[in-house]
Amino acid sequence: KAGVTQTPRYLIKTRGQQVTLSCSPISGHRSVSWYQQTPGQGLQFLFEYFSETQRNKGNFPGRFSGRQFSNSRSEMNVSTLELGDSALYLCASSFMSSGANVLTFGAGSRLTVL
């Protein structure tokens, strides 16, 4: 079974630009979550999608948005980039097993904002 695939792996943008990151979940997984990881704040939850609907949302400004397609692939978008948006963005696909939400993470997309 292929794992969670995130593209691109690395990218550099400048302030004010926008960026779109993609995540392909494990086949059969319908839930996709996004996390931002920075040295100062650690891993912070952005949002979760299930069957094309946003099911949970973290405390991030409206510049951060996402969507999920019918094939469960997900994208997240950050508009009007700020220096503080530089981070590793991690996507996880999940399934329910014995009542637990079991997450499998991708390798991440490392965004640098200059």
Partner 1 sequence: KQEVTQIPAALSVPEGENLVLNCSFTDSAIYNLQWFRQDPGKGLTSLLLIQSSQREQTSGRLNASLDKSSGRSTLYIAASQPGDSATYLCAAPNFGNEKLTFGTGTRLTIIP
Query: Which residues here bind partner 1, judged by CB under 8 A?
Result: 4, 6, 33, 35, 42-43, 45, 48, 56, 58, 88, 90, 92, 98-108, 110
With beta carbons less than 8 A apart as the criterion, state whether 89 and 35 touch: yes
Nearer to partner 1 (CB atom), residue 70 or residue 98: 98
* Closest to partner 1 by CB, 96 or 114: 96
Tokens matching residue 71: 């094939």
Pick between residue 65 and residue 79 the one whose CB is nearest to partner 1. 65
**Closest separation between CB of residue 37 and partner 1, Å?**
9
Q: How far is the CB of 19 from partner 1 (least distance, A)?
A: 18
Structure tokens given for 89 = 């963005």
Cβ proximity to partner 1, 34 vs 72, nearer residue: 34
Instruction: Give the Cβ contact number of residue 96 at 10 Å.
Output: 10
Amino acid 40 reads: G
Q: Residue 32: name the closest of 13, 47, 10 by CA.
A: 47
Residue 86: CB minimum distance to partner 1, A:
14
Total length of the chain: 114
